Chains A and B, each alone.
Chain A
Amino acid sequence: MSGFLKLLFRNRLAAMGALVLMIILALILIAPLLPLQDPDVTATADRFKRPFADGHLLGTDHLGRDLLSRLLWGTRLSLAVGIAAALIAAAIGSAIGITAGYFGGRTDNIIMRGVDMLMAFPYILLALAIVAALGPGLMNALIAVAAVNVPFFARNIRGVTVGLAGREFIDAARLAGKGHMRIILTELLPNVLPVIIIAMSTTVGWMILETAGLSFLGLGSQPPQADLGSMLGEARSALISHPHTSIVPGIMIFLIVMSINLLGDGVRDALDPRLRSGALSRPRATTLVERTGDIPARTDDLLAIQDLHTEFHVGSRIYRAVGGVSLAVKPGECLGVIGESGSGKSVTALSVMGLVASPPGVITGGAVRFQGEDLIGAPYETLRRKRGDRVAYIFQDPLSTLHPLYTVGQQLAEAIQSHHKTSNTEARAHAIQLLSDVRIPNAAARADNYPHELSGGMRQRVGIAMALANEPDVIIADEPTTALDVTVQAQILSLLDDLRRDRGLAIIFITHDFGVVAQLCDRVAVMYAGRIVEEGQTQAVLDAPAHPYTRRLIACVPELGGGRRELAAIPGLPPLVDDLPPGCAFAPRCDKAQATCRTGEIALAGTAPRAVRCLYPEVTV
């Protein structure tokens, strides 16, 4: 609770709202003790005195009554009526909601139908109808406002109750022979109460406004009694000649509603854990770059990732997702990057084109060179022109990576038109050609399908077609087959392999599956905790893994027809990258670890293309 309050009042606006509300509440509570004039005593000689006129701090109204006094007493009445309406609406609405939710079935059905019908009214019509039937008056306005808000409570509370009614403790109470009434009062109500209170706190401001509104229309409080609404309503006729009589009650309503709104927003934000993690922040168009240290010199590779550092800054914590990774591909080459989830392989891939979500992602060092040109920190437009045109991505899980509201044909055409000026007809024809290139049958018809209308394998092909749209030089495939079943996976892999041979594509293939690497890749790099621990020709690494981690990873792959053998899972979990141990990150899980493994920096060493980051490798490379 104190943590919640601290969080709430760290929000300056919420604190301000609370302060204003407190001052207003304090003022109206001590109003009877203040040396105020009687709010209802008229003095026609003193009518329409301006604020700060003798003896009247806020002036007087059209009957010469002291405005300050009327304001405080009116606020008292308005708040009292609003809160009373909220209490009544909450009580009746919750009773209805609990009944519907607890008994369920037909009772629920009939009640909720009724509630739906009430909610089909614009609220004021219902309130006006009730006031019309009962006649104008403050009590009747209160009843109308309460009644209008009953459905809101009924629906919310029913939702919560339905969730609770199926729980074990309710069944237990039933088995213990308790009656319905007792179960509702002793078991259900205490659990629902917090929800009722929150719903009430979010609607009370609204109800104060609604009752003020009815009084403004002349349907609520009747003279001489005045709440804020009727003060404003009465002052309206003198709006042009004596505006202060309108402004005074108007500002008060505004202050009350705004402070309640601010406080309510603060409460909602403080209760929402996503805000604290920064997860509600919008990712920028490119990853933030705060590069320190030297920029590595250019090489003649097609694409070279050089000593890349990418971090996530969440609050005061820093997660070093990628800690100095260097990779390179030449045309026509396929490089596999392999590692467990959380090893930093996807972040490495996304860093290439500045696609790491930022916030919280920050690239803090290194370079990514495409044909020698450094892309880290390059202007947005430079990056955009290369994205999808020279370097294209294929993502995992095409259901979430394809836009649900565009047809696949539109999405493909867009990929083309983002880089080439072509007419819509041409782009569409090209899109259909791409779909048949990735062996989607009946491509012309499929182009008009939405992603959700296609199978998983089909969607992945669309993803590949999209990556091929502009005949890029490099494709970065981030676990493109993980979500697919084995036969589809094999088809997709051979498709990629063909494309590589036919078009001289360079592919960076990210996966956690050594079987896939063996099938497709010329070279492989093994990542662990944000760093490369071993690299080399695929066959060499598979035949004689040098790093204990690689050896264990290969041992995890089941062999078809290999007979029954113990599959060796690696004990323990990868370390959290916000708190990496010194020395080898794998040491805590390694059966060969020595004391020396846990100190100092261990270099990636060996004769190219082989290298390993281990003091006691399985084989010397």
Chain B
Amino acid sequence: MSLIDVARLAKRYGAITALGGIDAAIDGKIIGLLGPNGAGKSTLLKALLGIIPFEGGAKVLGLDAATQGTEIRDRVGYMPEQEAYLSGMSAVELCTYAGELSGLPRTEAMQRAHAALYYAGLEEKRYQPIETYSTGMKQRVKLAQALVHDPELLFLDEPTNGLDPRSRDEMLELITELPERRNCSIVLSTHLLPDVERVCDHAVIMHKGTVRFVGTIDELRGARGPDTEIFVEVKADAKKLAEVMTEAGATCTVKSPVLVAIDLPETATNQLVFARAREVGLQVRGLGVRRESVEAAFLRIIGEAS
């Protein structure tokens, strides 16, 4: 059973197709949910939380999103992008209330509220009204209220939005630690691809209501794209290797007498390099792949879809 399973999941708003019958089995510890505006991320989150009706099937933590929305929301935490607090409340009151609204007994909710706020780094400020908090502190409260009821899965919507670089680093550090410390998985919906590159182990890329990629970050970056190059170090005569590889259809750039950058033909593998080098008596000392960045891979996948 995957964390999230969707089968032919579709949602239409009148003539607009927000989700066009997507199929995906999503797993991982920290999963980046990526896509340009209008890709269908928000609609997917609403469907997964059982908030909107939809066609097809969707399961979260093994629960049916169409019929078990409230049970899912008891086991899932949601950190919204926009401000979402009750005016006049302190952080500890808000988090306690959040815990109770998720079905925890009051005493348990209060204990966990203190623990969640402490984890989020608000231990000294937790009795102050939230209206007086800075943007960074409000983000921490949003994270704490999403954690307070001990969710098995967290949806974080643009958690670093509006944060200065230092606060952003701190928030990403908290997120990175969460799966281990809180024994939960995270779906991170964001436009900030460097954040995904830094903290995520899996990614889902959506575009125009369809899922274009589901897999690990390594798979995303490892999938050969126009930016993928291999670097081959030989004992001597890199120029010779460049010549034979060019004859084999590769595009080569000699970087030094012992180093050559090779862009292989679409169908070729690294084995071609070893075979050609052996044929001309060259000794390969090293071979490395310069992978695409997540951003480049994202743009390539979105570009292909367009």
A and B interact physically:
no
- Listed in ascending order, the chain B residues whose CB lies under 8 Å from chain A are none
